[in-house]
């Protein structure tokens, strides 16, 4: 395994990735595939954030627009209206918490960082808003670069690859090159499980995730309760925690540094057990 970057500069705070960390998912959307509509009132949001932080989440990832397969892209004003009050409230209540915002838009990224966010998580790799890369360069915050074909509404009709892993690697190499040329150095790569990939392709990607270490950057694995788990087991997303834990262990063995999950305690425990294996 090549030596990978092990710190991220989050607005002056150095986040240490020498041991894998957990990113807790906070969807403030009415239509996300697993927890849609669950966290829309301030009290429920702050209670859930407190729970995730107590369980050991290093980052809280706030999403105001669903990216489930078939999801529509909402207006920028609607996204801002969902996300910014939440970032503001969490930053006020938990000022030490590291906040990430899951967005495809430069304007939302900029406004969120100004409101207290520290990282930007972009499923579109800047392709749905040409202002995204320049905005990240200006903000100087870590950027999570994900591979996706098309956009959420159409991505599951675009699952044709000549060589799945090679095409994703080529894409990530090209985008990392662009980002570095713009002076963006704190980059996390996300191979994009479930985004323009079939169930079988997702398992192939997980099995070969170590290939992406060639980039020398931290890898994020977003497997939590996804269809590759519940379709394989013929269950629902609500019953997919055990499967998530199993695949998160594989992701750690493949070199993931960040586990993005709905269930923080289970992921923290998985990392602790993985550490025992690595001794």
**DSSP SS3 for 154:** coil
Q: Is 178 a catalytic residue?
A: no
Q: Which of 51, 260, 272, 279 is catalytic?
A: 260
In terms of Cβ atoms closer than 10 Å to its own Cβ (0-12, 13-18, 19+), residue 58 is buried
Are 260 and 279 in contact by the 8 Å Cβ rule? The answer is no
**Radius of gyration of the chain, Cα coordinates, nearest whole angstrom:** 17
CA distance 184 to 176: 9
**DSSP SS3 for 188:** strand
In terms of Cβ atoms closer than 10 Å to its own Cβ (0-12, 13-18, 19+), residue 14 is exposed
Q: What size, in residues, is the chain?
A: 279
Q: Is 260 a catalytic residue?
A: yes
Q: Which of 110, 226, 231, 257 is catalytic?
A: 226
DSSP 3: P
DSSP 100: E
**DSSP SS3 for 190:** strand
The number of angstroms, rounded, from the C-alpha of 54 to the middle of its chain's C-alpha atoms is 20
DSSP 40: -
CA distance 275 to 139: 34
Are 87 and 120 in contact by the 8 Å Cβ rule? The answer is no
Are 173 and 213 in contact by the 8 Å Cβ rule? The answer is no
Active site residues: 226, 260
């Amino acid at each position: 395994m090549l030596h990978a970057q092990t710190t991220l500069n989050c607005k002056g705070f150095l986040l240490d990735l020498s041991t894998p960390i957990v990113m807790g998912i906070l969807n403030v959307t009415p239509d996300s595939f697993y927890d849609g509509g669950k966290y829309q009132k301030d009290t429920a949001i702050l209670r859930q954030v407190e729970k995730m932080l107590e369980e050991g989440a290093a980052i809280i990832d706030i999403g105001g627009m669903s990216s489930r397969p078939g999801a529509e892209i909402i207006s920028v004003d609607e996204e801002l209206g969902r996300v910014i009050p939440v970032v503001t409230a969490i930053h006020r209540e938990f000022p030490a918490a590291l906040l990430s915002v899951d967005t495809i838009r430069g304007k939302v990224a900029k406004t969120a960082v100004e409101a207290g966010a520290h990282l930007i998580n972009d499923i579109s790799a800047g392709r749905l808003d040409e202002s995204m890369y320049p905005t990240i360069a200006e903000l100087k915050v870590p950027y999570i670069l994900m591979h996706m074909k098309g956009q959420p509404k159409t991505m599951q009709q675009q699952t044709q690859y000549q060589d799945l892993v090679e095409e994703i690697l080529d894409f990530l190499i090209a985008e990392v090159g662009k980002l570095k040329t713009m002076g963006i150095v704190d980059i996390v790569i996300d191979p994009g499980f479930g985004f323009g990939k079939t169930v079988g392709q997702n398992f192939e990607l997980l099995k070969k995730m170590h290939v992406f270490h060639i980039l020398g950057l931290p890898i994020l694995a977003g497997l939590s309760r996804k269809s590759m788990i519940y379709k394989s087991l013929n269950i629902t997303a609500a019953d997919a925690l055990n499967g998530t834990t199993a695949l998160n262990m594989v992701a750690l063995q493949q070199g993931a540094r960040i586990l993005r999950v709905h269930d923080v305690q289970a992921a923290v425990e998985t990392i602790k057990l993985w550490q025992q294996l690595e001794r």
